[in-house]
Amino acid sequence: MNDTHSKTIGYLLWLFGFTGSHRFYYGRPITGALWFFTFGLLGIGWLVDLFLIPRMDRTADLRHITGRYNHSVAWILQTFLGLFGLHRFYLGKIWTGLLWLFTGGLFLVGYIYDFCTLNQQVDERNRLP
């Protein structure tokens, strides 16, 4: 089995769970957005996720591809420095990295887009020879 995601990172992001960040990390953008807009289902879903993270981690490991680019590194860069495009530079997307750098994550729209698609972006890069 691939080890694409980290339970440690998942639990660290869970601390900010009312934002849905751990759900985005594990490739669940719809429920991530739901958690974001409802503050973790008013804290109830956030608390339940404490026990669901191991299953979300196993599912993400089965769904995504290991390779040159590490999902956890990309997610840390996206979460904390995504407005500056560092995750895009890490993935070798220099032009969009520069665009993110000079436009604040393309005026936040690109930053939010990357929360929904970052796992697929890393998988795409890991499939390249």
pLDDT of residue 102: 98
Given this model, what pLDDT does residue 1 score? 64
Per-residue pLDDT of 53-70, as tens digits, reads: 999 999 999 999 999 999
User: Would you kindly state where each structural domain of the chain is located, as residue ranges?
Assistant: 7-63, 71-127
- Tokens at 101, concatenated: 């750098």
Sorting pLDDT into bands at 50, 70 and 90, what band is 16? confident
What pTM value is reported for the model?
Answer: 0.92
pLDDT at 42: 94
Residue-wise pLDDT tens digits, 69-111? 999 999 999 999 999 999 999 999 999 999 999 999 999 999 9
Hey, what long-range contacts does 3-8 have (CB within 8 A, 24 or more apart)?
3/61, 3/66, 4/60, 4/61, 4/64, 4/65, 4/66, 4/71, 5/57, 5/60, 5/61, 5/64, 5/71, 5/72, 6/57, 6/72, 7/53, 7/54, 7/57
Average pLDDT, whole number, for the chain?
95
